[in-house]
Amino acid sequence: MIKKYILTGILGVGLLMGATSCGEDFLQRDALDLRQSDTFYKNETEAMEALVATYSVLQWQYVTNYGPLELILDIASGDTRKGGGSAGDQPHMEEFEPQNVVQPTNVALEVWWDKYYTGIQRANQYLERIDGVEADETFKTRTIGEVKFLRAYYYFDLVRLFGNIPLITKTLGLDEMDQTQADPKDVYNQIATDLVESIPALPQAVSDSEMGRVTSYAAKALLAKAYMHANGVYGVNLTTANGEVIDNGRALQELRDIISSGAYALLDDYSNLFRMDYQNSSESLFSIQFSDLAEWGDWGYGVGTQGNFLVTMQGIRGHNSDERVEGWGFNLPTEELFNTFEPGDLRQQASIVVAADLEESYDESYQQTGYYTNKYTGRPENRLDDSRGGDFNLNFRLNTQTIRYSDVLLMESELSGDATNLNKVRERAGLPAVGYSQAAIEHERRVELALEGQRYFDLIRWGKGPRSKDLFPIPQNEINLGGGTLVQNP
């Protein structure tokens, strides 16, 4: 059973997202919390607000509790330890460490389930209503493409996390709540259908005032990622509703279209990737936008903020300096991850802080490893000015980079079995070229995308899952509400 409050016709959201000075024209929209869907969708302005509501779910990292996906998947991959203030500080996160068992009652599972099905509900509602809106056809075409991308994105995370999930492509009435689980392959085929249909509808680039909106190249990259995961886990190609087959050759074509377009490039300096001045850079195909526009201070309503909880949670406890702002000390890189970087790899220092090298004092975290993340972490440049109101912990403005150009290069190399693009990534890191091998691609993806929540799913599709079970449990609350409709993962 999908929770009723997700599937009712009430739209609820404030602003979408904001990252830097870019994108604020698009992002500053009126709240929809009190808008009833049966009187909504009358004109283009209202349709835009509904589109923003569909995007906004991307930002949700706290719904009923803390559940930032990237952080928890780093823990699940074995590359990090939970950390935090103590064993009792967000104990649900420690269950995700590979040696532990994730219980069906773990609150993070419910966060993800609620988040993504909220996004899917909003997408389904938009697609059903947009034809009746008084709006320009160009606007309709583009926004339909955006919403199909978003629905595919939400389903992609859901199916990778839980596998056996309900596939819902329409809004549901109160008598339709008990939805059965679909074959995961059917979910992947729906993802492929949405992405293939979105590509021709989306622009290849967006203006500075629209940063955060989806492009056709982002859809192409996500299609390749979906194929690679489905093929790795289930050994299948994807088939769209109109019979198009997404196989190795088609995925390669999409990746090569991105590369040959010249629209993207690696930053010269890897260490700039996670700094404010380089948000939405030439390396970003798709980033979840965060901002301090909301000036949020309500700890009881986590989805109200536009700030990035990753930054607050991963900052060094009790440590303030010209370089860093204190945080809660979660997601501690392991010594094994630190030592995985080759000698001379410029990414090691850019990715990981060595605690012993810190000049200013700090408070040790629980499970102290001696290392902290240097990517999504608080810095003076992205902290909310206290004089503006709100709590700075809730308002860090650093984007989460979901698809980077280096990821595209490495996917192309993996699918083609050719080291050319892999070595472009290594060259930027100050490393010599290597010949192609599966071991080389696995190593490069680990260090290039370290601490970005990518490795767990890579391990799963390579058949090297770090846990005894590749799928997480369906949230127990959903099992209970379904009255036997949903079957728990084995």
Domain ranges of the chain: 4-72+108-289+401-471, 302-398
pLDDT per residue over 230-245, tens digit each? 999 999 999 999 999 9
What pLDDT score does 483 carry?
83
pLDDT of 436 over the 50 cut: yes
Segment among 12-26, 74-88, 180-194, 347-361 with least mean pLDDT: 12-26
pLDDT at 469 over 60: yes
**CA 424, CA 410: separation in Å to the nearest integer?**
9
Tell me the pLDDT tens digit for each residue of 101-158.
Answer: 999 999 999 999 999 999 999 999 999 999 999 999 999 999 999 999 999 999 999 9
pLDDT in tens, 281-311: 999 999 999 999 999 999 999 999 999 999 9
Instruction: Write the pLDDT tens digit of every residue in 65-75.
Output: 999 999 999 99
pLDDT at 176: 80
Report the pLDDT value the prediction gives residue 484, as an integer from 0 to 100.
85
**Are 407 and 221 a contacting pair, CB within 8 Å?**
yes
Picking from 1-10, 149-158, 416-425, which range would have the lowest pLDDT averaged per residue?
1-10
pLDDT at 476 over 90: yes
Query: From CA 15, how far away is CA 248, in angstroms rounded?
Result: 39
CA atoms of 151 and 122, how far apart (whole Å): 9
353-357 average pLDDT score: 97
Phi, psi of 293 (to 5 degrees): -65, -30
So what's the pLDDT on residue 37? 58
Which CATH number applies to 4-72+108-289+401-471: 1.10.150.20, 1.10.10.10, 1.25.40.390, 1.10.150.530? 1.25.40.390
Q: Please report the pLDDT score of residue 59 as a whole number.
A: 97
The set of residues, in sequence order, having a beta carbon less than 8 Å from that of 88 and lying 6+ positions away, is none
- Taking each helix axis as running N to C, give the angle between helix 216-234 and helix 137-162, from 0 to 180 degrees, rounded to the nearest 10: 30
> Measuring CA to CA, how many Å separate 214 from each of 188, 403, 477?
20, 11, 33
pLDDT above 70 (res 438): yes
Q: Which residues contact 15 (CB under 8 A, 6 or more apart)?
A: 27, 28, 29, 31, 52, 56, 291, 293, 294, 306
The overall average pLDDT reported for the chain is 92
Given a cut of 50, is residue 335 above it in pLDDT? yes
Q: How far apart are CA 84 and CA 314, in angstroms?
A: 9
pLDDT of residue 178: 83
Query: Could you give the CA distance from residue 462 to residue 115 in angstroms, rounded to a whole number?
Result: 27
Instruction: Please provide the DSSP assignment of 253-315 as one string.
Output: HHHHHHHHHT-----S-GGGTTSGGGTT-TTEEEEE---STT----TT-GGG--S-HHHHHHS
**Radius of gyration from C-alpha coordinates of the chain:** 21
Residues 6+ apart with CB under 8 A from 374: 274, 349, 350, 351, 352, 353
Whole-number Å distance between alpha carbons of 190 and 124 = 13
- Per the structure block, which two tokens stand in for 92? 């649900």
Residue 381 has which token pair? 């440049």
Beta bridge partners of 330: 83
Those residues with Cβ within 8 angstroms of residue 339's Cβ, 6 or more apart along the chain or in another chain = none
Give the three-state DSSP class for 32. coil
Burial grade of 174 (CB within 10 A; 0-12, 13-18, 19 or more): exposed
Q: CA–CA distance from 134 to each of 34, 187, 227, 396, 442 (Å)?
A: 22, 32, 37, 37, 50
Summarised one tens digit per residue, pLDDT across range 7-41 is 333 334 332 333 333 344 444 444 444 455 566 78
Rounded to an integer, the average pLDDT of 355-366 is 97
Residue 353, CA atoms < 13 Å, CB-side half-sphere: 23
Average pLDDT rounded to a whole number, residues 48-61: 97
Is residue 436 within 8 Å of residue 417, measured between CB atoms?
yes
Question: Model confidence at 173, in pLDDT bands (50, 70, 90)?
Answer: confident
Burial 204-235 (b: 16+ CB within 10 A, else e): eebeeebbbbbbbbbbbbbbbbbbbbbbebee
